[in-house]
Structure 1
Amino acid sequence: MSCDSAQIYTAFILLKTADTPTNATMMKPEEIRITVIVDNTPLSDFSSEHGFSLWIEAGGSTLLFDTGRSTAFAANLLKLEIELSRADMLVLSHGHYDHTGGVAQVLREVPAMKVCMHPGALTQRWSIREGVAKPTDMPNEGKEAIRALNPSQILNATAPMEILPGIRVTGPVPRVSEFEDPGGPFFLDTKGAVPDPIEDDLSLWIETTEGLVIIAGCCHSGLVNTINHIRAVSGEERIASVVGGLHLSSANEERLEKTALALAKFPIGRIHTSHCTGNKATELFSHRLECPVSATAAGLRFTP
């Protein structure tokens, strides 16, 4: 299910009339620092797992973006000497287990933490492969921790919204590209009768003097759809960088080719691929696109 054009236009008007920073007050890309807490591959001495989590410092704000799958999150927090209490907010890109495994830990350690998410992140869901249904939703402990929060702590991202100064989330992304889909056999039932569109999938962006810094968790909405949506809502066409999981690891050749062709038309400064992007997509982009393309790893600290 996707937002209609009226919703997008309304969101655009709200964002552009609400004290949007000028170039003089926008942060510079070098003021943004990203630390990869969890990724599929690690730097030496760090733990890895099929999961994703970032620590994002942007201007005067700090946020935790996703919480990995299981043990790597806690282990790498210690090694990176990250104090969760420093985060202004936890942002959940969507409700899959490999992005929400540490939610309960975060809310135990910081009970007053604000959480930005789409309400659909609490949905029960499955992936079905070879007739076997596997739960893919947030662990129950995490769901219970979120439901126990004071409602004032939860930001329901049902439309584009500013969550911290200069930092915004997409809300549901319109599914327009004919070659992009959620990226897997995802369903809302164990029989495979009700496809899961993963409507709760969201990305965030930071407006900088050099253009947009776009950060995705899994990008189940499709990278091209996500970029087009953010550009339409923000009114900014330049893209300083794209960071995160792009869910192309199981994409066929046609989708990869069409994605590369579409990306080549955008003014992108750099791409940092993570988690579910896949080596094939990363290598294709590095050969087809004019901008630098590199893969992240758990333990990596970088400026986008």
Structure 2
Amino acid sequence: MKIITIVENSFGHEGCIAEHGLSIYIETEKHKLLLDTGQSDAVVKNAEVLGVDLSLVDTVILSHGHYDHSGGILPFSQINHTAQIIMQKSAAEPHYNGERYIGIDKDILELPNVRLINGDVQLDDELFLFSGITGRRCYPQGNSKLSRMESGEKVPDNFAHEQCLVIKQNGKHWLLSGCSHNGILNILDRYGEIFANAPDYVITGFHMMKKDGEHTEKEKAIIIQTAQELAKMNTVFYSGHCTGIPAFDLMKEIMGDKLIALHSGEEICYELRK
């Protein structure tokens, strides 16, 4: 199994573009796939630098309906016309940050290989997709500015369009999410309902980035409590993108070697811990 961070906010490989976005390339025994595609054609350019042949990708999973995860789909589709592109049906709906549109490019929906699903789907014996995350433990405070359209009006986003990918490989379970808008603890609760255990590895942003000043005391408390809960688990977490450096550093103090940073162009080490 091979996992490479194709796009992330920070630099990790000479010649690779860093942008506010996320794209993860995975090779399993049966698949070559992408989780998300960043916000631009950086996914194509970085893949070329890294020697990843995107024309061989058979599956693209869109974690949720935001531009910084879907923006590379159209550039990708120029070199790969056959990979199925799987998203929740509600990911196609308009999404906003305040007045700014942050949803997907509607031209994506015209691609013939787009597959809209509704709820959990077992793709095969390696790949499973789940949504339906309703818990609100340690809910990310940054969601308060995000909305969706319902009956022609903006309403708070409930992130029903967020889906998570579970990969079963070599007796281990990998859980991948783009931003954990629903909150990583609630995602893990939903995972536990389905699999009755904890994943061995998790790759996700934690949506704790603060762009306008320092974290409030309430936000810091949520970050700390989240890290404390994750530190109790026998799981390794890879995170970056929307986590934000201050939040990552705070979580790292608590989680130690159970938390590893993502960077554009780096191959993820997934050797089993002793």
The answer to whether TM tops 0.5 is yes
Which has the higher mean CA deviation after the structures are superposed, 209-218 or 92-101? 209-218
Structure 1 runs not aligned, ≥5 long: 1-31
What are the Cα deviations for residues 249-303 of structure 1, in whole angstroms up to 9, with x where unaligned?
Answer: 13711211221232133221x2111211112232222221254322111100123
2:41·2:75 contact (CA, 8 Å) conserved in 1?
A: no
Summarize the alignment of residues 262-277 of structure 1 with structure 2, pairs less than 5 Å apart. 262-268=229-235, 270-277=236-243
Amino acid at match of 1:41: S
Give 1:183's aligned residue. Answer: 142
Change in CA separation of 1:300 and 1:100 when aligned onto 2, cut-off 3 Å: same
The residue correspondences of 1:17-28 to structure 2 (distance < 5 A) are: none
| Superimposed CA distance per residue, residues 129-183 of structure 1 (whole angstroms, 9 cap, x where no aligned partner) | xxxx1110112332333xxx16xx6251x2222224322111232x213431473
Which ranges of 4 or more aligned residues in structure 1 deviate by more than 4 Å? 189-193, 208-211
Contact 1:62-1:86 at 8 Å conserved across structures: yes
1:105 equivalent to 2:72? Answer no
Distance 1:64 1:244 in 2: 14
Q: Is the 8 A contact 1:53 1:65 kept in 2?
A: yes
Q: Residue 198 of structure 1: SS of its match in structure 2?
A: coil
The aligned amino acid for 2:173 is: L
Written as runs of structure 1 = structure 2, the 5 A alignment for 1:31-42 is: 32-42=1-11
TM-fit CA distance, 1:196: 1.5
8 Å CA contact 1:272, 1:295 repeated in 2:
yes
Q: Aligned-residue CA RMSD in angstroms? A: 2.3
Does the 8 A contact of 1:161 with 1:171 survive in 2? no
Aligned counterpart, 2:126: 166
Partner of 1:26: none
Return the match for 2:156 from 195, 199, 206. Answer: 195
Q: Does 1:62 align with 2:55?
A: no
Using the aligned pairs only, state the percent identity. 25
Q: When the two structures are superposed, what TM-score results if normalisation uses the length of structure 2? A: 0.86
Counterpart residue type for residue 228 of structure 2: L
List gaps (5 residues or longer) in structure 2. Answer: none
Aligned-partner SS, 1:224: helix
Alpha-carbon deviation of 1:96? Answer: 0.2
Q: For the residues of structure 2 that align with 1:209 and 1:80, how far apart are their CA atoms?
A: 25
Q: TM-score, normalised by structure 1?
A: 0.78
User: Aligned-pair distance for 1:208?
Assistant: 4.5
- 2:174 aligned to 210, 213, 216, which one? 213
What does residue 258 of structure 1 align with?
225
SS of 1:154's equivalent?
strand
> Does structure 1 conserve the Cα–Cα contact (< 8 Å) formed by 2:178 and 2:205?
yes
Give me the whole-angstrom Cα distance separating, in 1, the residues matched to 2:38 and 2:253.
30
Which residue of the partner structure matches residue 11 of structure 1?
A: none
Q: How does 1:47-86 map to 2 (within 5 A)?
A: 47-86=17-56
Count of aligned positions: 260
SS in 1 for 2:204: strand
* Letter of the structure 1 residue corresponding to residue 3 of structure 2: I
